[in-house]
Chain A
Amino acid sequence: MKQIRFFIFLGLIALLAISTDPVRNAFASPSDQESIIASAVIVPAQVSQLGFITSALVKEIAVKEGNQVKAGDVLVVLDVPELQFAVAAAEAALRSAEANAELQRYKRVKDRRRGRVFFDVVPPEVRQLADAQVQQAQAALEVAQASLAQGTLTAPYDATVAQINIVPGELVQLDQPVVTLATLNNLQIETTDLSERDITKVNFGDSANIFIEALNANVTGKVTGISPRADVVGGDVVFKVTIALDEQPDGLLWGMTAEVVIGE
């Protein structure tokens, strides 16, 4: 029994020794062909990592990961009592200023001239000043309201909630990404290892054949973008090429890998 087990071991080890030969694999990729082959990854056309420009506790998260949202939908609400109080105070100040301005129109000032008592209207500047104070209060209210609006995060466009990084009650820092939105119904492909030697042969509008490993499916697409600047990946100079799919296959997900063949 034991011997059999050992022979199984032997076989396993022998297999390991044969299969792990990365160098030979690396040299095997064909480079003398006319068409260009590259690895690629599926990415959404638009991704937004949303955050706040204020720092406060999270009061409510109105969406869940995977939810579809429309432009203007509320995503996250922060607990910002001081901003709410500021708005309430500004509203009260505005009402007070308005009342004061109204009062100045009917107010009379007692004046004594040549021994007689007159009740004159207030000087025009006093009324103008009261009106200016109303405008001040109005503007202050707008500032308070605009600040309060920063405590609510809304969706900028129709999209899918891809990730939520916070829980209610957590403190959100300034500029911390809390929600990631992505347009998952509009996925495209970006190459990851297209080298500088091949980039000169790629043109806008070139057709591309894409093999998506996860779906075991072949789809077609067109080159819609060529990065004007190279990235250095592991010492190799590569250019990112963006390819739009002619038709998006069912089940395609963000982050899946693909093999693309550009040109004929």
Chain B
Amino acid sequence: MKKIYLIRPKCHSERSEESLVSSQRPFVARDATQGDNPKRLDESKANYLTVIIVIAALVLAACGSASTPTAIPTISLDNTGSSSNNQSSDVNSVSASAVVVPLNEARLSFASIGRVTAVDVKVGDKVTAGQTLVQLDTSIPEAKVREAEANLLAAQVQVKYLKRLGTDEVHLETAEADVARAQAMLDSANATLSTQSTLTAPFDGTIVSVDISPAETVVPGRVVIVLGDLSSYQLETTDLSEREVTKIKVGQPATIFIEALGSEVTGKIVEVSLTSSTLGGDVVYAVTLEFDDQPEGLLWGMSADVNIQTEE
């Protein structure tokens, strides 16, 4: 019986109050019949009503107090949206949010299935191009190289024998073809061993994420390491809509405010993406900006506000 009351006080307007009252009626009647006292029915009904009204008032009061503070972020959100629109139409400039990204980044994965034996780097390590980052177990590919070597040897012996005996051309050619094939198999096995069992850094950079531990398995295409060249950064806009992208041209200057550093710097457009993406129902294009003078202390992923001057 209590449950009915506990479920009800949820919030919101007179409608819930009405349903509260109507839902109580059968309960009240049943309660009264158990007591066998029609007089008490009226009395308790009145009590119920007052209680219900007080509860409703309290609940409404609670709703009211919660709604005032939530209004603050809603208003501020509207402000930024409208201000960017105003700026773009009034002052020949376009505002957008942007994120700091490195000039060069790589998401590294293996081309084959395997088990990791060693992870030589950790997040934050600086690596040079060609450095080994992750090593796979090579017992199977190594054995396969030895198998290919033995096959090649057998084929070579056969050719030598046939040459000494001086057999006909056809047999000799077949044997020589076997040697060529065995050589190709060996090259292939060696290539698999050297290229697919190690992950090396494609350029000088910093390890940004390591998503692999020793003895874990890898499958082709799963990103295990993210590498970034954290010496030079650029900016990519995140919410520049299709309506505004038409005004943006490569080379246009921009002012960039980086919130985390609290500093304002200048830059210019270097690229306008030719493909779009969607952001909450809006079609947006990524515009890339470079810094005229890169500020100190930038980190990958920091957010920025850019204001692009679009001269007509």
Contacts and interface: CB of A to CB of B under 8 A. Distances in A.
Interface of A: 2-3, 5-6, 9-10, 13-14, 16-18, 20-21, 23-24, 27, 46-53, 123, 125-126, 128-129, 132-133, 135-136, 138-140, 142-143, 145-147, 149-150, 154-157, 174-175, 181, 196-197, 199-200, 225-232, 237, 239
B66 interface: yes
Given A17-B61, A53-B217, A129-B154, A228 B206 contact: yes
B253 interface: no
Contacts of A9: 5, 51, 55
A200 B70 CA distance: 30
Contact of B66 (A21, A46, A138, A140): A21
Given A46-B213, A146-B143, A196 B259 contact: yes
Contact of B299 (A27, A149, A155, A230): A230
A125 B157 contact: yes
A228 B208 contact: yes
A51 B216 contact: yes
B301 A237 contact: yes
A149 B69 CA distance: 63
B55 A13 contact: yes
B109 to A, nearest CB: 13
Interface in B118-147: 123-124, 139-140, 142-144, 146-147
Interface stretch (B13-21, B158-166, B265-273, B283-291): B158-166
Nearest to A147: B140
Contacts of A143: 140, 143-144, 147
B301 A174 contact: no
30 contacts: A6-B51, A13-B9, A14-B58, A16-B62, A17-B58, A18-B62, A21-B65, A21-B69, A23-B72, A48-B214, A48-B215, A49-B213, A51-B216, A132-B150, A132-B157, A135-B154, A139-B149, A139-B150, A142-B147, A143-B144, A146-B142, A155-B215, A174-B217, A175-B113, A175-B217, A196-B302, A200-B261, A228-B228, A230-B299, A230-B301
A234 B33 CA distance: 54
A219 B249 CA distance: 55
Given A125-B157, A143-B144, A196-B299, A16 B214 contact: no
Interface in B1-30: 2, 5, 9
Nearest to A155: B215
A157 B214 contact: yes
Q: Which of B5, B115, B301 has the most CB of A within 10 A?
A: B301
Given A10-B55, A21-B66, A227 B213 contact: no
Contacts of A21: 65-66, 69
B46 to A, nearest CB: 12
A150 B136 CA distance: 13
Given A17-B59, A133-B154, A228-B124, A140 B217 contact: no
A228 B123 contact: yes
A13 B147 contact: no
Contacts of A17: 58-59, 61-62, 65
A102 to B, nearest CB: 17
B240 interface: no
Given A229-B226, A229-B228, A239-B299, A48 B216 contact: yes
Given A53-B217, A143-B140, A196-B303, A136 B157 contact: no
Nearest to B51: A6
B299 A229 contact: yes
Contact of B123 (A14, A27, A197, A227): A227
A188 B153 CA distance: 55
Contact of A237 (B55, B158, B219, B303): B303
Contacts of B69: 21, 23-24, 27
Contacts of A135: 146, 149-150, 153-154
Contacts of A156: 213-215
Nearest to A46: B213
A10 B154 contact: no
B138 to A, nearest CB: 9
**8 nearest A-B residue pairs (beta carbon):** A230-B301, A17-B62, A156-B215, A125-B161, A23-B69, A139-B147, A135-B150, A132-B154
Contacts of B215: 48, 50, 154-157, 181
Contacts of A129: 154, 157-158, 161
Nearest to A125: B161
A9 B143 CA distance: 76
A55 B203 CA distance: 36
Contacts of B208: 227-229
Contacts of A199: 260, 299
A229 B300 contact: yes
B297 interface: yes
B44 interface: yes
B188 to A, nearest CB: 15
A196 B47 CA distance: 56
A53 B157 contact: no
Contact of A23 (B5, B70, B230, B303): B70
B164 A200 contact: no
A126 B164 CA distance: 12
